[in-house]
Structure 1
Amino acid sequence: MALLGTVFTGRQSMAAEKIAGPVAAELIRVIDGDTVLVSAMPWPDHHVTTYVRLRGIDAPELKSRCPAIRNAAERAQSTLTSLLNASPVVALSDISGDKYYGRVVAALTLADGSDPAEALLSAGLVDPYRGGRKKAVACP
């Protein structure tokens, strides 16, 4: 069967495959500075609720023991919440699976065409992330 431009045979995994998109989605809630919960609409009259990690960024952790890191995480989460509350319908693109947390990784585009991940990067609230092991952050 041909799927996503690749031929799959038997029980071959699709975990490494990507979907170009766009897939329309509605915001349910912001989880943290780089993850949201959405109701995606990949097919007419079908809704899939899923967590989406924003492609290309890494936000500080809300559960950090360090007060300064938690504060930075709250600022990133608050900014992302403001951006998405102004545009609760988004488009997901460059969609792939996330091997650890049962979510997808995708680029988000707001209704006005802007990229919230880029806005967070420009504001210095998140770090760029291209995969691999994250750098350890010491408490300032």
Structure 2
Amino acid sequence: MSLSFVPTLAARDEIDGPVSAEIIQIIDGDTLLVPATPWPQQTMEVHVRIRGIDAPEIHSKCTEIRKAGLKARDALQQMISGVSIIQLRGIAGDKYFGRILADVTFADGRNPAQDLLSEGLVRAYDGGRKPQVFCAEE
């Protein structure tokens, strides 16, 4: 059989899901660490970037941005309090190796991206170039 007939997954192809995952750690306001089980008997730990949002960077040199990032992370931590399993859908490779991009929902149907956007803690993000953020301290 010719290799041209063998289906392959490109970096931007998606797995529809849902894939159930348990949250190990909140990394920041838009990234989680989970052990996902995409196939039976195969579990892997992976960072999940929540699709559609961008949180302020918690490692920013700017105190104002860092505080906003910590506030977003803490809000996400509050949202997941008592949540044991999340659902990942539209799973795709991210622009950073070792991380995936996915729509995240809780078992009750809540969408943390929408909740964080509604609270004004993150901005909408489509994966393109991020706008430059200026620090009032500089």
User: Above 0.5 in TM-score?
Assistant: yes
Match of 2:114 among 115, 118, 121: 118
Any idea what the Cα deviations from partners look like across 1:17-52, whole Å, max 9, x if unmatched?
011110000000000010000011212332111000
Over aligned residues, Cα RMSD in angstroms?
1.9
Any idea what the Cα deviations from partners look like across 1:79-128, whole Å, max 9, x if unmatched?
11111232131000011001224200001010111000111000000000
Long gaps (5+) in structure 1: 1-6
Long gaps (5+) in structure 2: none
Kindly tell me the number of residue pairs found equivalent between the two proteins.
Answer: 134
- Runs of 4+ aligned residues of structure 1 deviating over 6 Å after TM superposition are none
Q: Alignment partner of 1:86: what SS?
A: coil
**How far apart, in 2, do the equivalents of 1:114 and 1:8 lie?**
42
Match of 1:63 among 56, 59, 62: 59
Q: How far has the Cα of 1:11 moved from its partner?
A: 9.5
Which residue pairs with 1:81 in the alignment?
77
- Evaluate the alpha carbon distance shift between residue 64 and residue 21 of structure 1 in structure 2; reply closer, same or farther with a 3 A threshold: same
**How far apart, in 2, do the equivalents of 1:26 and 1:8 lie?**
37
Identity over aligned pairs, percent:
47
1:28 pairs with 2:24? yes
**How far apart, in 1, do the equivalents of 2:94 and 2:108 lie?**
27
Q: How far has the Cα of 1:12 moved from its partner?
A: 5.7
Which residue pairs with 1:95 in the alignment?
91
